Structure 1
Amino acid sequence: MSREPLRLGVELDAAGRHPAAWRLPGARPAELFTAAHWRRLGALVERADLDLLVVPDSFRLGSSDERDQRGRLDAVAIAAHLAPLTRRVGLVPVVTTTHTEPFHTNKAVATLDFTSLGRAGWQVEVSTTAEEADTFGRTGTAPPAELWREAADTVEVVRRLWDSWEDDAVVRDVASGRFVDRDKLHYVDFEGERFSVRGPSITPRSPQGQPLVVVPVRDEHSLAVAAAHADVARIEAGDERTAAQTADRLRTLAGRELTVLLDVEVLLRQTATEALDVAGRLDELSPGAAPRSVRHLGTPATLAAALAELPDGLDGAVLAPVDLPATLELVVSGVVPALTRPPVAGSTLRERFGLPRPTSRYARIGGVR
Structure 2
Amino acid sequence: MAHSGFFLAVEAAGTGAHPASWRRADSRAEDLFTGRYWVEVIVAAEQAGLDAVFLPDSFGLQPGGPGTTRGRLDAVAIAARVAAATHRVGLIPQAPVTHTEPFHLAKAIQSLDFAALGRAGWEVTVSEGDEQARAFGRKPAQAAPALWHEADEAIEVVTRLWDSWEDDAEIRDVSTGRFIDRDKLHYIDFIGDNFAVKGPSITPRSPQGRPIVAVRADGAADAEVALRRADLIRISADDLDAARARRTGLRAALAAAGRDPDSVHVLLDLDIHLADSTDAAHAELRTLDSWADPVVAPAPSTLRHLGTAETLREVLAAVDSAEAADGVVLRPLALPAAVRQLSALDQKPLSTSTLRARLGLPRPAGRYATSTEGPPS
Q: Do Structure 1 and Structure 2 share a fold, with TM-score over 0.5?
A: yes
Instruction: Give the Cα separation in 2 of the matches to 1:331 and 1:342.
Output: 12
Aligned residue in 2 for 1:197: 197
TM-score, length basis structure 1: 0.94
Identity within the alignment, %: 46
* Alpha-carbon distance, 1:65 to partner: 6.1
Question: Deviations 1:33-85 (Å, cap 9, x if unpaired)?
Answer: 11111111011011022111111100011249664411000000100011111
Gaps of 5+ in 1: none
Question: Match of 1:325?
Answer: 336
**For 1:231 and 1:7, how far apart are their aligned partners in 2?**
13
- Structure 2: gaps (5+ residues): none
Partner of 1:280: 286
Shift of 1:342: 5.0
1:360 pairs with 349, 359, 366, which one?
A: 366
Match of 1:291 in 2: 300
Q: How far apart, CA to CA, are the structure 2 residues paired with 1:228 and 1:318? A: 21
Tell me the residue number matched to 1:167. Answer: 167
TM-score by length of 2: 0.92
- Corresponding residue number in structure 1 for 2:48: 48
Does the CA-based 8 Å contact 2:45-2:342 persist in structure 1? Answer: no
Q: Match of 2:5, as an amino acid? A: P
The equivalent residue for 1:227 is: 227
Matched residue type, 1:142: Q
Kindly tell me the number of residue pairs found equivalent between the two proteins. 362
Deviations 1:231-266 (CA, angstroms, capped at 9, x unpaired) = 111112222221221111111111122111100111
Aligned residue type for 2:298: A
Q: Deviations over 1:116-141 (max 9, x none)?
A: 01000000111111100010014531
Stretches of 4+ aligned residues off by more than 6 angstroms: none
One-letter amino acid matched to 1:20: A
**What is the CA–CA distance in structure 2 between the aligned matches of 1:292 and 1:112, rounded to whole Å?**
30
Residues 1-369 of structure 1: pairs in structure 2 closer than 5 A: 5-63=5-63, 67-255=67-255, 256-257=260-261, 258-287=264-293, 288-310=297-319, 311-332=322-343, 334=344, 336-337=345-346, 345=351, 347-365=353-371, 366=373, 367-369=375-377
For the residue of structure 2 that corresponds to 1:325, the secondary structure is helix
Q: How far apart in 2 are the matches of 1:201 and 1:235?
A: 32
Indicate the larger mover: 48-57 or 75-84: 48-57
1:298-324 C-alpha deviation (Å, 9 max, x unpaired): 121221111101121411200011002
> Residue 57 of structure 1 aligns to a residue in which SS?
coil
**Hey, what's the Cα distance between the residues in 2 that align with 1:203 and 1:67?**
44
Q: What is the rounded CA distance, in whole Å, between the counterparts of 1:112 and 1:48 in structure 2?
A: 22
Q: 49-58 or 294-303: which moved more? A: 294-303
Cα RMSD after superposing both structures: 1.7
